[in-house]
Amino acid sequence: MIKKNKVVEVYACSEYIHLSVNKARRVIDQIRGRSYAEALRILALMPYRACEPILKLVSSAADNASHNMKINKTDLIISKAEVNRGTIRKKLKPRARGHSYPIKRTTCRITIVLKDVVKVRRKVEIVLNNPTEHIQKFVNNPQEELKKFLNNLTEEELRELIQILLALLYLNLLLKLIIVLPVLADMEKDSINMEKDSINMEDDSINMEKDSINREKDSINREDDSINMEKDSINREKDSINREDDSINMEKDSINREKDSINMEKDSINWKKKDG
């Protein structure tokens, strides 16, 4: 069916498609607002079973537009795509003991609307290509020129113009953000670097304190080592004195043994004299 407005719309509808609404809607949401060629590419690459009937429906609507209205397919966009619940086919599956199990086969109704946007684009391009003339007209008679311009537009063209203006505002905001965000990012980086520097300075001071403590510990350890060395030297001297004492005692023992041997010889001589 064809709506004969200033902005041409062509739509195609398909009913009793054996699909659930949710499975068809996840495909329809991807092609809504896309151009005809882009929608065909998306439907050809998506792995869902719902893509095939939707692809046939979109191509049917485009064929209707090209055959009936002589519209080029490249100028078409999918302005509206809807999925609604259709009738439910009910069956009965036999079960044990004469019982039956109900089976519900859901269907859906898909509507695709294609729109020719060449006229809207041409009017907007005229304004954008010659902005100075239109600005002078608006400056001289702003109310009359604005009324003329708006009266020449249909509702669809007005919506399209509002979308373009919103897109331009959005682009302006994006440009401002693109300019401002790097500055903010640099400021944040500088603050982070300053915090890092302060943390590094604190770490350096802590390390210096640790180094001073370690030096004090090293000096204390050196003093302890010197004391231990002195103790070792004293112990060595004591050991040498003890060795000398031992040697003296050994000499005394040897002298005493010699005395004992002499006394024994004297006793033997005396015994011999007594026996003789």
- pLDDT tens digits for 185-211? 788 888 898 989 889 999 999 999 999
Decide if 75 contacts 9 (C-beta within 8 A): no
- Whether residues 50 and 90 share a domain: the answer is yes
**How many CB atoms lie under 10 A from the CB of residue 109?**
17
Round to whole Å and give the CA distance between 133 and 124.
14
Q: Is 87 left (phi over 0), alpha (psi -120 to 50) or beta?
A: beta
Least confident stretch, 48-62, 92-106, 147-161, 198-212: 147-161
Domain count, the chain: 2
- Whether residues 83 and 149 share a domain: the answer is no
Query: C-alpha angle 82/14/54, rounded to 5°?
Result: 65
Q: Look up the pTM and report it.
A: 0.46
- Whether residues 50 and 12 share a domain: the answer is yes
- Whether residues 11 and 89 share a domain: the answer is yes
- pLDDT tens digits for 127-154? 556 655 555 555 566 666 666 666 666 6
- Whether residues 110 and 88 share a domain: the answer is yes
Q: CB under 8 Å to 156, separation ≥6 — which residues?
A: 5, 6, 7, 115, 120
> Is 56 a member of any domain?
yes
In terms of Cβ atoms closer than 10 Å to its own Cβ (0-12, 13-18, 19+), residue 11 is buried
Asked if the model's pLDDT at residue 33 lies above 70, the reply is yes
- pLDDT tens digits for 153-189? 666 666 777 777 777 777 777 777 677 777 777 888 8
Q: Which residue has the higher pLDDT, 193 or 276?
A: 193
Domain that holds residue 62: 2-116
Residue 52 belongs to domain with CATH number: 3.90.470.10
> Is 7 a member of any domain?
yes
Decide if 118 contacts 9 (C-beta within 8 A): no
